[in-house]
Structure 1
Amino acid sequence: MYTTRNSSSSCTQGGFNLGVMHIGAPACGMNAAVRSFVRNCIYRGDTVYGIHDGIDGLVEGNIQEMTWAEVTGWVGQGGAFLGTKRTLPEKHLDQVAARLREYKLHSLMIVGGFEAYHALLQMYEARGKYPEFCIPMVVIPSTISNNVPGSDFSLGCDTALNEITEICDRIRQSAQGTKRRVFVVETMGGYCGYLATLAGLAGGADAAYIFEEQFGIQELQLDVYHMAAKMAEGVQRGLVLRNEKANENYTTDFIFRVYSEEGKGIFSCRKNVLGHMQQGGSPSVFDRNMGTKMAAKAVTWLTDQMLAHRREDGSVFCDEASTAVLLGLQRRSYVFQPVIELKCQTDWDRRIPLNQWWLKLRPLLRILAKHEAAYHEEGITVKEVEEALD
């Protein structure tokens, strides 16, 4: 594990060729990261090549040199102006290596989600066969799902949470003046329940169903009874969140029908699937600044690595695990961690980290929703609450 450090050794030495690309789904903050990367490289006297449309664009040669003016205004724009696709390099290693050799790239930065992390791991593992991959490479995690190991936060997840919370607030306000009503809302995130949990905490949800915390018909029944009891106490509106892949059989529609049937005569029920509006329009201030800082740190790290591994002919060659890394935000520090070390910390079938810090917040979510009776059997301890508040 490698933490960032300040370095001025590369400020006056240029001449390197650096590539930047996206792999995965678009997320707010991607453009801010590319803008920061391009301008920091040009400031150092290097050349930046923008690779459009991910691995597909790299294979097709959709690559162009980027200028200072070209990225003007990108910091506040959502989406990914370079274009992004989910294609992995595994089946295209020959063509990818050929393009890296053709453009004489000395290092590569990838901004993207779980696919970006997976792609870098594949290229690292192919170094023995393709020397073109023996260059410094770094991934900046960028996905609303926040499911990339090695980082507590990913670019785009803050904007997505803001969007989900605002939408849920509007949905609940739409029932102002009506009879008692419960809203069942489906969030994105794949198998990762980060969005449902944190949005539920911020939006005052009564329940948030996620894959990481298994639930069955008994839990659903208890939640319905609990909701009815709160309605009897004077609560007018309820909010239930469900992550899109929380359970194969207990779908959003199933949960909606259970609440609708069991709540007859007590409350009505409505269902909402938020869809891609969760990705947000403009990135939040947090995502803009995070993307800007992470890209700047990535440039400094890449430059240090290129200088350390530059050969007499001007090429760069490095095959150490410490030169193919993911730049993550862990607690309050930016950390460069080799992707090969993260491999064993990943649930590859469900594309989530094996350990996720936000799960400690689940007891707090239940307590704030007044679930101490319904979930008494799970034994929420004082220690768990203290950890959630830490």
Structure 2
Amino acid sequence: MSTVRNIALITSGGDAPGLNGAIAAIAQTPDVNLYFYHGGFDGIIEQDPIAISPTTAREAVQQGELLCFSGRSTHMLHEAGQKRVLEKLKQDCIDALIVCGGNGSAQGARSLSAGLPVAVVPMTIDNDIGGSEYTIGHDTAVNAIAESLHRLRQTAANLPGRIFMVETFGGRCGQLPLAAAVAASADIVLLPEYELNIDKFITEVDARSARGKSVIIVVSEGIYLNKRFSAGDQGVSFALARALEESTEKRVRLSILGYTQRAGDPTSYDCLMAKQMGQCAVDALLNGEKAMLVALKEGRVKAIPLTAIEQAPTLAKELLQLAFKENQLIQLEG
């Protein structure tokens, strides 16, 4: 019989729609008491645990506002802080911890796994956690970006010949802009995985614009011309637009979607994935697992060793094939 009864849950790092589904699945598990700490890892030290009822969790599944507020941690950057987190969890009689977040959050959870059973539920709109094919919030964000691109396509049809540039999140992984660009049939997508040949890019955009149709370009925030990308950087599209305008003498219409991509009620797919991942996490902990990542692998949600986060995230091959086929991905070296 499992000795796990009191499970704590935190959300860490950037927020993502859909996580309430995972919370609901965990909260409705018989003989399990679920508690929150708001504010990520730091909240464990700074706050008392908050009990969540199954009814409250179930009623919030389709809401974009998360039941458990997220936060970024400073304590997890050093061993002394990690020790304080573990001591506080034991003081609060917590038997296991579920961490919902991205790569940094998973690394923090891994540092605690020697002292407490931990499970990581992947939550980031970027879909960039090594070891899992999907992360909660990605589908909702793709839909939000695609909707913006569809709207631009409509105004582009009304006044042909214009150049539109849309900057998205994604950091060092292009999975989010790639999926949105393919879904909405954007004309060009720029991804951080491929070196940008600025001269080729300008020539290609100018040629497509000269045909009389508007050009819609999706740009990952991680594309930088003369510096390294740092988390939180935005505005690279300004430099790209300036280069285009100076060379072609054509105006570029800019849209930086920013934090609207992380907002909104979750799609049904995100709700379903979140519920499955939450259930998988609690089942694994009750079965005695000590350090695991809940992952989507080959279409199935399963618990795998937390060491899987060491794998570098890769772009979906099927999406890349579509992007090349539709001539959206023009970033070629040389």
Counterpart CA distance in 1 for 2:327 and 2:282 is 45
The amino acid across from 1:161 in the alignment is V
CA RMSD of the aligned region, Å?
Answer: 2.4
Instruction: Note closer, same or farther for the CA distance 1:16–1:370 as it changes in structure 2 (3 Å cut).
Output: closer
Provide the residue aligned with 1:191 in structure 2: 172
Higher gyration radius (CA): 1
Work out whether residues 26 and 79 of structure 1, in 8 Å CA contact, stay in contact via their aligned partners in 2. no
Summarize the Cα distance change of 1:360–1:71 in structure 2 as closer, same or farther, 3 Å threshold. Answer: closer
Distance 1:39 1:248, change over 3 A: farther
Compare 61-70 and 18-27 and name the one that shifted more: 61-70
* Structure 2, unaligned runs of 5 or more: 228-235
> Where does residue 334 of structure 1 map in the other structure?
301
SS in 2 for 1:75: coil
2:175 aligned with 1:217:
no
What residue number does 1:319 align with?
none
Aligned pair in 2 of structure 1 residues 16, 79: CA closer, same or farther (>3 Å)? same
Amino acid in the other structure paired with 1:74: A
Identity value in percent? 25
Structure 1 CA distance for aligned equivalents of residues 216 and 11 of structure 2: 35
The partner residue of 1:365 within 319, 323, 331 is 323
**Superposed CA offset, 1:237-283 (max 9, x none):** 2111110011243931122123334444xx64211111111113100
Give the one of 31, 34, 43 matched to 1:45: 31
Quick check: 2:9–2:37 contact (8 Å CA) kept in 1? yes
2: distance between equivalents of 1:221 and 1:174? 23
For residue 72 of structure 1, report the CA deviation from its aligned partner.
Answer: 4.1
> 1:260 aligns to what?
245
Where does structure 1 lack aligned partners over 5 or more consecutive residues?
1-9, 128-132, 306-321, 346-352, 379-390
The answer (yes or no) to whether the contact 1:23–1:86 under 8 Å persists in 2 is yes
Counterpart Cα distance in 1 of 2:332 and 2:219: 21
Q: 1:160/1:341 Cα in 2 relative to 1: closer, same or farther (>3 Å)?
A: closer
Give 1:15 shift.
7.0
Work out whether residues 107 and 302 of structure 1, in 8 Å CA contact, stay in contact via their aligned partners in 2: yes
For residues 95-116 of structure 1, give each alpha carbon's deviation from its aligned partner in whole angstroms, at most 9, with x where no partner exists.
Answer: 2112111122221111112222
Match of 1:175 among 156, 164, 177: 156
Secondary structure of 2:283's partner?
helix
Q: Counterparts of 1:48 and 1:107 in 2: how far apart (Å)? A: 10
Partner of 2:278: 295
Between 144-153 and 241-250, the greater mean CA deviation after superposition: 241-250
1:238 to 215, 218, 221: 215
SS in 2 for 1:205: coil
Q: 1:342 to 1:73 in 2, by over 3 A?
A: same
TM-superposed CA distance for 1:156, in Å, is 0.2
- Checking the alignment, whether the CA contact within 8 Å between 1:193 and 1:246 is kept in structure 2 is no
Q: Secondary structure at the match of 2:215?
A: strand
Helix, strand or coil: the match of 2:61? helix
Partner of 2:120: 139
Residue 131 of structure 2 contacts residue 308 of structure 2 at CA under 8 Å; is this kept in 1? Answer: no
Q: For residues 15 and 240 of structure 1, do their structure 2 counterparts lie closer, same or farther at Cα, with a shift above 3 Å needed?
A: closer
Q: CA deviation at 1:118?
A: 1.4
- What's the offset of the Cα at 1:181? 0.8
Residue 283 (structure 1) aligns with: 266
Cα deviations by residue, 1:59-99 (Å, 9 ceiling, x for unpaired): 01331222223324210111322111121524312321121
Amino acid at match of 1:243: S
Count, aligned residues: 323
With 289-298 and 215-224 compared, the bigger mean Cα shift is at: 215-224
Q: What is the CA-CA distance between 1:302 and the residue it aligns to?
A: 1.0
Query: 1:71 aligns to what?
Result: 57
Distance (whole Å) between structure 1 residues aligned to residue 15 and residue 188 of structure 2: 29
- Compute the displacement of 1:369 (Å): 3.0
Q: Distance in 1 between matches of 2:298 and 2:241?
A: 37
Report the 3-state secondary structure (helix = DSSP H, G, I; strand = E; otherwise coil) of the residue aligned with 1:356: coil
Whether 1:114 aligns to 2:76 is: no
Comparing 115-124 and 147-156, the one that deviates more:
115-124
TM score, norm. by length of structure 1: 0.76
- Does structure 1 residue 247 correspond to structure 2 residue 232? no
- 1:19/1:50 contact within 8 Å kept: yes
Relative distance call for 1:291 and 1:96 in structure 2 (3 A) is: same
In structure 2, distance between residues paired with 1:156 and 1:164? 13
Q: Is the counterpart of residue 101 in structure 1 residue 101 in structure 2?
A: no
Q: 1:206 aligns with which of 187, 194, 199?
A: 187
Aligned to 1:5: none
Structure-2 separation of matches of 1:30 and 1:93: 25
**1:180–1:268 Cα contact (<8 Å) kept:** no
CA distance in 2, matches of 1:331, 1:103: 38
